[in-house]
Amino acid sequence: MATGSRYAGKVVVVTGGGRGIGAGIVRAFVESGAQVVICDKDEPCGRALERELPGTVFIPGDVTREDDMGALISETVRRFGRLDCVVNNAGHHPPAQRPEETSAQGFRQLLELNLLGTYSLTKLALPHLRRSQGNVINISSLVGAIGQSQAAPYVATKGAVTALTKALALDESQYGVRVNCISPGNIWTPLWKELAASTPDPAAAVREGTLAQPLGRMGQPAEVGAAAVFLAAEASFCTGIELFVTGGAELGYGSKASREALPGTIPS
């Protein structure tokens, strides 16, 4: 099948689509022949991508505002007459924080963005996806499955996104709607650069992030985009799955302690 015909005639909404992983997903769907609605609260980035990529439309919106998401779905269907795929990509990874440095308010705000935003848009899109027997793709994270130090709220929100994916897959299978998620590992994005820059030694943070993968590099947004198109266009017998796009970062047995310990000793 030619690249430009894999998802031709389909309509896709991508949240957080203005840059990073979201932009990689937008590009991949455009290359597959789809018409893509870019949703982002960063209007300059969204408008720039809309100008660059024929076949895209930018609709500004904040996923934490249900009214914005309702307007996004209504305007998409008004313009294109259908909706085939929703990619819930919008999210945030705060800088490293020890548990005692976190706050309930910060946790609530992260839940609103990373989890409730995914829930709200999916709920609003479902009537249209049921008509088209479309699909939902949630962008979770590898750390939702394996954990991450100094990131308890983020890990909790992403683990919940994966669990939500599985529950929705069960509910929506009767309508022919598939719900899957992608869990990326270290993907080289503006957010990754910002997180590295917030550390005492950015170069060391990037080196550590690179060496976490057996493949010896970080992933690219285009590789997450390719996985999303696969789930939407070809994975017709897959629902409720978590697709790792990680370069093998979860594999292998190795030291994870912060200090050396003698074999067989019990910490006091």
pLDDT for 110-121, tens place per residue? 999 999 999 999
Is the pLDDT at 15 greater than 70, yes or no? yes
Higher-confidence residue: 263 or 76?
Answer: 76
pLDDT for 28-48, tens place per residue? 999 999 999 999 999 999 999
Q: Could you list the active site residues? A: 154
What predicted TM-score, i.e. pTM, was given to this entire model?
A: 0.93
Is 3.40.930.10 the CATH number for 3-187+220-245? no
Reported as a pLDDT band with limits 50, 70 and 90, residue 190 is confident
Separation CA 17–CA 158 (nearest Å): 18
**Looking at beta carbons, which pairs linking 148-155 to residues 24 or more positions away fall under 8 Å?**
149/96, 150/96, 150/97, 150/98, 151/93, 151/94, 151/96, 151/97, 152/97, 152/99, 152/102, 153/94, 153/97, 153/102, 153/106, 153/107, 153/110, 153/111, 154/93, 154/94, 154/110, 154/114
Q: What is the mean pLDDT of the chain?
A: 94
Is the pLDDT at 268 greater than 80, yes or no? no
